Structure 1
Amino acid sequence: MNPLRSIRRLGLLFALCTPLWLAGCASPQPQDYADQTPKLDLREYFNGDLTAHGLFTDRSGAVKRRFTVKMKGTWQGDQGVLEEDFLYSDGQTERRVWRLTRGADGRYTGQADDVIGTAQGQAAGNALRWQYTLRLKVDDSTYDVKFDDWMFLMDRQVMLNRAAMSKFGFHLGDVTLSFHKP
């Protein structure tokens, strides 16, 4: 077999497969869910009392921590406050207060004392992608960890959340939450 012909065939195969491989690497975007219902409006869902149940899994999938969150949301126009009180299965407690702002085109921003900078979010249809860096305290150390949250409104009472955690581009684990609104 002619070596030059083999190289040309490999080059052609590479050229044909590269766009398919790159398309497979593309991550979902909020607009991919624009036609999904029920439509998510954070001002409506995170208004009043809510409860969430969650767990943290390491990168191998092992459950490392379980928790419950009692929340209360209040809004005045496009400005909201979401108070979160965490109770972990080991008895530890934690409090986070988000200050949220609704912008144009389903965009949201948020700040909290343990969030570095400003969280950015985009809602479309029943989904919200929420990205931020959280300063986590672990034992006697603190780490700045990136969160890439996806929230999906299932019905008027239930929303599911999955968040990928990473540091320096390395996947650390995931947080899974189920929000319940009375």
Structure 2
Amino acid sequence: MLRRCGTVLAALAPALIAVACVPSGHMTRYQAPVPTFDPIAFFAGPTQGHGSLAVAFSGSKPTLVEGHGVVEVDGSLRLEQTVRVGDKAATRRTWHLYRVAAGRYSGTLSDAKGPVSGDGTGNQLHLSFAMRGGLQAEQFLYLQPGGQVARNRMVVRKLGVPVASLDETIFRRPS
């Protein structure tokens, strides 16, 4: 019995080590009461994000996300993004984000499976949504002083275990 447990632990060790290399927390050191993060205002117009995507068993890859947001007549945001990860071909995704109450948001994301929900407090915006393949994503975005830069930490989990994380800095660009 003990020998079988040791064999199982030895077989699982590489997987446990790889998962441990995926950062799972959010960046609370950036949390502050001001400036207030209004994602509809921040993402209106051109933005660009530079970051690093860490995936279990795959290591880290640089990311580049170029976006252009439009505030619709109803006050919602439509954000079109082009995403490049490492040397893979670029992909496109679309966000629609609606303010449902003070500090509360709802919406859709083209690569999500189901709705996006969000809440904001001070300079922090927390978004969560399900993805295909039984994955759950959480994003914590922190608006930096001056209102032109946001820090983003996204963690993707499978069965509650972190399998990927993104650390990104997003810049508002001049129109």
Shorter-chain TM band = 0.7 to 0.9
Provide the C-alpha distance between the structure 2 equivalents of 1:161 and 1:50, rounded to a whole number of angstroms.
13
Which runs of 5 or more structure 1 residues have no equivalent in the other structure? 1-26, 136-142
Distance in 2, Cα, partners of 1:78 & 1:104: 12
- 1:71 and 1:91 mapped to 2: Cα distance? 18
Q: Of 104, 108, 111, which aligns to 1:111?
A: 108
Whether 2:28 is the aligned partner of 1:38: answer no
Say yes or no: does 1:151 pair with 2:147: no
Provide the C-alpha distance between the structure 1 equivalents of 2:40 and 2:155, rounded to a whole number of angstroms.
24
| Match status 1:172 vs 2:163 | yes
CA offsets 1:78-125 (integer angstroms, 9 cap, x no match): 311011101222142110011111110211112123211101000111
- The residue that corresponds to 2:151 in the other structure is 160
Q: Quick check: 1:131–1:148 contact (8 Å CA) kept in 2?
A: yes
Aligned sequence identity (%): 24
Under a length normalisation based on structure 2, what TM-score does the superposition of the two structures give? 0.74
Runs ≥4 in structure 1, deviation > 4 angstroms?
none
Letter in 2 for 1:38: P
RMSD across aligned C-alpha pairs, in angstroms? 2.2
Aligned residue runs from structure 1 range 86-101, under 5 A: 86-101=83-98
Q: Which residue of structure 2 lines up, in the alignment, with residue 131 of structure 1? A: 128
In the aligned structure 2, how far is the partner of 1:134 from the partner of 1:53?
A: 22
The CA distance in 1 between the partners of 2:164 and 2:84, in whole Å, is 20
| Equivalent position SS for 1:44 | helix
Q: How far off its partner does 1:42 sit?
A: 1.1
Shift of 1:57: 1.3
Separation in 1, partners of 2:54, 2:109: 23
Q: Structure 1 residue 59: deviation in Å?
A: 5.1
Distance 1:59 1:97 in 2: 26
What does the per-residue CA deviation read over 1:57-85, in whole Å, with 9 as the maximum and x for residues that have no partner? 1359x842221011001113431101110
CA contact (8 A) 2:37 2:143 kept: yes
Instruction: Determine helix, strand or coil for the equivalent of 2:110.
Output: coil
Q: Secondary structure at the match of 1:179?
A: strand
Q: Which runs of 5+ in 2 are unaligned?
A: 1-24
Structure of larger gyration radius? 1
The match for 1:120 among 117, 120, 130 is 117
Specify the code of the residue in structure 2 equivalent to 1:175.
L
- 2:33 maps to amino acid: Q
